[in-house]
């Protein structure tokens, strides 16, 4: 069983050589969204590139309960029943707007949609237009001016700095979606760059990706989830789990990494519950079903031995332990471990290949206990 800070099986504990901070989430005023699913139709502005869209859509489905999600154009999707209170914690959705209408990608058509809409809002407004990935032949400045004119005719005042309402007008390919902004992502990932952490090691995962993997693993249970990373390294996944509201538990075979992760968690999550232990990922000091989700980044490369294990034995053993302690898992690796995951008791719900740079493709396995 490896060494552990508590000297016993993990139990919930507040702070210590452990910890978590609030995010400073920004949420848009909306009468009935706090923590609930609202059954309007929504426009989702997805982050990332074209190859990230299926990944982004699954994150929104799992972490924000976006139902009937459909990608309708590059970088755009529609959905029902979004849990708007979770949108600020997403990684690969920029914004969510309550849909006014969908039309073709012309300013005249967008103006017609707005003119035909029933609008119960009053006060100040800003119109923000986007040409998503420059895929539409349209002037966003002209769109903002003309749709803003429609709203002024309905007695709105224009306030570009602090409006009561923001109208989003998104053009992509031959589609235009018009909607009222109701929630947006807390885009503070850059403030947590791995190189800025108190403890840093090369090869650390970008915070935006770490958040997405946590959301894929634990999304339905967040924010009241316990998330375990059995190969926590510098703690990047645990930081994002804590900032998303989860209780974070980490383990690493090296004392150096366990201590470094604790230092990072203490920095970013000073007021939350977390634990870090030194332990073997194939024999965790954790009780059965102690977590809601496991998420980990397996070792890369062709090392012959890692913490005394062959790589295949390490990953297989870690997956078997993960299936013992949680019903959901996301495994990130430099190769496919599908067969090993199935042998360890997992069903593969989805798998993505995500290029990081020329020499590294991350294989993301989204797993559910069989």
Span 44-85, pLDDT tens digits: 999 999 999 999 999 999 999 999 999 999 999 999 989 999
Judge if 177 and 299 occupy the same domain: no
Summarize the chain as % helix, strand, coil (round to 5). Answer: 30, 30, 35
Instruction: For the beta carbon of residue 357, count every other beta carbon within 10 angstroms.
Output: 6
Q: Of 124, 158, 184, which residue is a domain's last?
A: 184
Question: Is 232 found in the same domain as 273?
Answer: yes
pLDDT tens profile 251-307:
999 999 999 999 999 999 999 999 999 999 999 999 999 999 999 999 987 654 466
Same domain for 180 and 50? yes
- CATH at 48: 3.30.2130.30
Mean of pLDDT values over 218-224: 95
Mean pLDDT of the chain: 89
pLDDT at 62: 97
Residues 246 and 360 in one domain: yes
Residue 77 CB-half CA count within 13 A:
28
Find out whether 6 and 276 touch, Cβ atoms under 8 Å: no
| 155 and 283 share one domain | no
Measure the CA–CA gap between 317 and 322, rounded to whole angstroms: 9
Question: Which band of pLDDT confidence, cut at 50, 70 and 90, is reported for residue 38?
Answer: very low
Question: Considering the domain boundaries, does residue 78 fall inside one?
Answer: yes
d(CA 176, CA 369): 40
Q: Could you check whether the bond before residue 296 is cis, i.e. omega within 30 degrees of 0?
A: no
Looking at the domain assignment, is residue 197 inside a domain? Answer: yes
Per-residue pLDDT for 14 more than 50? no
Whether residue 161 lies inside any domain: the answer is yes
Q: Tell me: do 223 and 148 sit in the same domain.
A: no
* CATH label of the domain that carries residue 278: 3.40.50.150
The number of domains in the chain is 2
| pLDDT the model gives residue 219 | 94
Residues 214 and 270 in one domain: yes
Residue 26 has pLDDT above 80, yes or no: no
**Does position 148 have pLDDT exceeding 50, yes or no?**
yes
Alpha carbons 50 and 59: distance in angstroms, whole number = 15
Phi first, then psi: give them for residue 319, nearest 5 degrees.
-65, -40
Average pLDDT over residues 234-238: 97
Give the range of the structural domain holding residue 74, as residue numbers without chain letter: 37-184
156 and 240 part of one domain: no
Same domain, 204 and 179: no
């Amino acid at each position: 069983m490896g060494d552990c800070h508590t000297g016993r099986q993990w139990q919930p504990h507040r702070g210590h050589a452990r910890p978590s901070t609030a995010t400073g989430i920004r949420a848009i005023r909306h009468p009935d969204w706090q923590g609930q699913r609202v059954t309007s139709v929504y426009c989702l502005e997805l982050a990332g590139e074209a190859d990230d869209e299926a990944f982004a859509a699954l994150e929104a489905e799992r972490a924000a309960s976006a139902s009937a999600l459909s990608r309708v154009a590059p970088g755009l999707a529609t959905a029902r029943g979004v849990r708007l209170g979770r949108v600020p914690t997403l990684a690969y959705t920029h914004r969510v707007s309550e849909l006014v209408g969908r039309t073709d990608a012309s300013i005249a058509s967008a103006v017609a949609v707005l003119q035909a809409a029933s609008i119960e809002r009053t006060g100040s407004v800003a119109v923000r237009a986007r040409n998503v990935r420059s895929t539409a032949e349209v002037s966003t400045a002209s769109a903002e001016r003309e749709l803003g004119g429609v709203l002024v005719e309905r007695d709105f005042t224009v306030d570009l700095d602090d409006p009561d309402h923001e109208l989003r007008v998104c053009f992509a390919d031959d589609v235009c979606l018009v909607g009222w902004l109701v929630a947006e992502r807390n885009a503070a990932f850059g403030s947590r760059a791995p190189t800025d952490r108190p403890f840093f090691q090369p090869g650390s995962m970008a915070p935006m990706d770490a958040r997405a993997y946590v959301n894929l693993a634990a999304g339905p249970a967040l924010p009241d989830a316990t998330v375990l990373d059995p190969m926590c390294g510098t703690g990047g996944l645990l930081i994002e789990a804590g900032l998303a509201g989860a209780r974070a538990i980490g383990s690493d075979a090296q004392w150096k990494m366990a201590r470094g992760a604790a230092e990072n968690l203490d920095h970013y999550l000073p007021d939350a519950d977390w634990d870090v232990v030194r332990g073997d990922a194939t024999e965790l000091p954790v009780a059965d079903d102690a977590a809601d989700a496991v998420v980990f980044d397996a070792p890369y490369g062709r090392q012959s031995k890692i913490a005394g294990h062959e790589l295949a034995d390490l990953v297989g053993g870690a997956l078997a332990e993960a299936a013992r302690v949680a019903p959901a898992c996301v495994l990130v690796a430099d190769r496919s471990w599908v067969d090993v995951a199935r042998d360890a008791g997992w069903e593969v719900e989805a798998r993505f290949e995500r290029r990081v740079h020329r020499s590294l493709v991350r294989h993301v396995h989204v797993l559910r206990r069989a």
